[in-house]
């Protein structure tokens, strides 16, 4: 099923395999892995975020080292959801609460930013940090007209290096669509690999 493709050094997005609208590979410029669904007028892309990237981002916006570390170790991806349908194809909606993380047959929810935010509120995280957190994550629910898209982080609640399948769902008009992206890998924690973990 998987088809190996020639990788051109000049491309930022070099697909290593494709299957029924789903592709994956390694970003040439960063070495980070990505997975992409392009099917039925939507595009959804996940790009690994190294835990150190996430730690740095949130510490720079007011989170403590411990709090930033907790986010960073929650399997965070940069995510892009886009309505790629033609102008007359209508709006697409999704709700991350409907998506399922599959790990060895166990069904788990996506970790929603609202759950994180309740934790930040209870632990007294300063408001500017909470604002950055809320807006840097992909919207939990969104409606995209053709041409609309968002970038944002998503978090899957798994340890660094874990592998999972993601069952997605969305609707176009009133038609429910589903897709599975298999074999997604949380980025490794290079700090723990090098023995620098706190």
Partner 1 sequence: MRAAALGLFLFVALFCTASTWAEEGTQTLTLLPERQQAPGFVLKDVNGETHRLSDYRSRVVIVNFWATWCPPCREELPSMQRAWEQIRDEGIAMLGVNVGEDADTIFPFTAYYPMEFPLLMDLDSKVVEDWPVVGLPTTFVLDPEGRLVYRAIGGRRWDDPRLLEKVRGLKARQ
Contacts of 127 (CB under 8 A, 6+ apart): none
CA angle 18/107/183 to nearest 5° reads 20
148 near partner 1, rule: CB under 8 A: yes
Candidates 119, 126, 127, 190; binder of partner 1 (CB under 8 A) is 127
User: Which DSSP string corresponds to 134-149?
Assistant: HHHBPPSEEEE-TT-E
Using CB under 8 A, which of 23, 69, 111, 142 touches partner 1?
142
87 binds partner 1, rule: CB under 8 A: yes
Q: Does 138 bind partner 1 (CB under 8 A)?
A: yes
How far apart are the C-alpha atoms of 117 and 97, rounded to whole Å?
Answer: 15
131 forms part of the interface with partner 1 (CB under 8 A): yes
Which CA distances in Å does 186 have to 32, 34, 69? Answer: 10, 10, 15
113 binds partner 1 (CB under 8 A): no
Within residues 8-47, the interface with partner 1 by CB under 8 A covers 8, 10-11
Name the residues that contact partner 1, by CB under 8 A. 8, 10-11, 57, 61, 82, 84, 87, 127-128, 131-132, 134-136, 138-139, 141-142, 144-152
């Amino acid at each position: 099923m998987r088809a190996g493709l020639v990788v051109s050094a000049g491309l930022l997005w070099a697909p290593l395999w494709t299957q029924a609208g789903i592709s994956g590979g390694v970003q040439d410029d960063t070495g980070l892995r990505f997975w992409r669904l392009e099917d039925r007028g939507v595009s959804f892309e996940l790009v690994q975020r190294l835990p150190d990237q996430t730690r740095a981002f949130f510490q720079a916006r007011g989170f403590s080292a411990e709090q930033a570390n907790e986010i960073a170790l929650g399997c965070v991806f940069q995510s892009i959801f886009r309505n790629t349908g033609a102008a007359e194809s209508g709006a697409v909606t999704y709700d991350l609460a409907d998506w399922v993380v599959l790990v060895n047959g166990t069904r788990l929810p996506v970790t929603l930013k609202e759950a994180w935010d309740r934790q930040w509120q209870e632990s007294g995280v300063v408001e500017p940090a909470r604002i950055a957190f809320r807006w840097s994550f992909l919207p939990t629910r969104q409606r995209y007209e053709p041409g609309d898209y968002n970038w944002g982080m998503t978090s899957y609640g798994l340890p660094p290096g874990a592998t999972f399948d993601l069952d997605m769902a969305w609707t176009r008009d009133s038609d429910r669509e589903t897709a599975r992206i298999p074999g997604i890998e949380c980025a490794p924690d290079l700090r723990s690999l090098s023995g620098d973990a706190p």
